[in-house]
A and B are shown apart, each in its own frame.
Chain A
């Protein structure tokens, strides 16, 4: 079993829809949770990160972390065709010795005009 599980999709939605992307994880030591967006043949781009449980909002994006369930989500409101990309969740522990990120497989999202 992988440490981080993410449904690869693909997920197809109409423009303007609310999108929900999710990851589950097994390692209770993870403290920091990130969401990256990756366009085809490009490097991942950080959207946002959260520490421990709770919500964080940035424009049309909201990240949620539920550590008790080992479950994280990214919500995209008013989705746009330019949001079409692969979304990767990533996480790391609180150890001071490493910056190692563990990534999910990525979910491919297509927003249709």
Chain B
């Protein structure tokens, strides 16, 4: 596809459950990012991958959050023991490396609701 895609578009789960959110970046984009956006707020950085490795995971709020990108393309954000405060839109973005990081292309997001 031409843009960043994310699945599912919506996810409703119960408190304490485990969820996985998937991101397919633009082909050829080696940099991939996850952000979280709460209602009425700007996106908040979670993690940045360059290739397969997490180059910056300083935004992950606690050890319930984990992300992988095993082949340097698709990425999965994993949230264990979900809490109601995890409810938000999870955005994925991708870019070229180096100066390309100034042009991050965002997907439509996954809207997570924890009941």
Choose one: B40, B58, B91; the contact of A100 (CB below 8 Å).
B58
Chain B residues with Cβ under 8 A from A6's Cβ?
42
Question: Does B108 reach chain A (CB closer than 8 Å)?
Answer: yes
A45 and B106 contact, CB distance less than 8 A: yes
B104 and A105 contact, CB distance less than 8 A: no
Question: Does A102 reach chain B (CB closer than 8 Å)?
Answer: yes
Chain B, range 62-115, C-beta contacts under 8 Å to A = 91, 93, 95, 101-109
B102 and A32 contact, CB distance less than 8 A: yes
Name the residue on A nearest B46 (C-beta).
A100
Say which size band chain B's interface belongs to: 20 to 34
Choose one: A36, A44, A99, A104; the contact of B48 (CB below 8 Å).
A99
Chain B residues with Cβ under 8 A from A8's Cβ?
40
Name which of A43, A97, A101, A103 has the most chain B CB atoms within 10 A of its CB.
A43
Given A97-B56, A100-B58, A103-B44, CB of A44 within 8 Å of CB of B106: yes
Q: Give me the interface of A with B, judged by CB distance under 8 Å.
A: 4, 6, 8, 32, 34, 36, 41-46, 49, 51, 88, 90, 92, 97-106
Given A101-B33, A102-B45, 4 additional A-B pairs, CB 8 A: A43-B4, A44-B43, A97-B55, A100-B56
